[in-house]
Amino acid sequence: MGLVTGITSAAVGIVSPFLAHTVSGTGSLLNSTILAPYSRTQENDADAIGQLLAIKSGWTPEGITTFLNTLDRETERKGQEGDQFSFFATHPSTPKRVKATEVRAGELNAEKKFQQKRYLIAKNHKAFLNKFNGLIVGSDARQGVIVEQNFLHPTMNIGLTFPGDWKISNQPQYVSAVNKQKDGLLILELQGEGNDPVKAAHDFLNKAKIANQSVSKLSIGGFSASQVTINKSRQEAIITWVAFQKQMFRLTSINKNLAATNRRDIKKSIATFHQLRSKEKMKIKQQRLRIISARSGESISALLKRVGSEWDKESCAIANNLQADVSLKKGQLIKVVISEPFKYGSTEITR
Segment 7-18, tens digit of pLDDT? 444 444 545 555
Which class in CATH covers the domain with range 141-280? alpha beta
pLDDT at residue 93 in the model = 62
Residue 292: pLDDT over 80: yes
Determine the Cα–Cα distance for residues 136 and 24; give it in Å rounded to an integer: 30
Determine the Cα–Cα distance for residues 177 and 146; give it in Å rounded to an integer: 11
Give strand ranges (E) for the chain.
145-147, 150-153, 158-161, 167-170, 175-178, 184-193, 216-220, 223-232, 235-244, 247-255, 274-275, 285-293, 333-341
Segment 174-204, tens digit of pLDDT? 999 999 988 999 999 999 999 999 999 999 9
Mean model confidence pLDDT for the chain? 83
Q: Where are the domains of the chain?
A: 40-130, 141-280, 284-341
- Of 34-43, 44-53, 66-75, 114-123, the range with the lowest mean pLDDT is 34-43
Instruction: Please list the alpha-helical segments (H only) found in 157-215.
Output: 197-208
Residue 265: pLDDT over 50: yes
Q: How many percent of the chain have pLDDT more than 70?
A: 79
Residue 116: pLDDT over 80: no
**Stated pTM of the model:** 0.74
Q: Band the pLDDT of 235: cuts 50, 70, 90.
A: confident
Q: Which residues pair with 161 in a beta bridge?
A: 150
Residue 219: pLDDT over 70: yes
Q: 47 with 101: CB under 8 angstroms?
A: yes
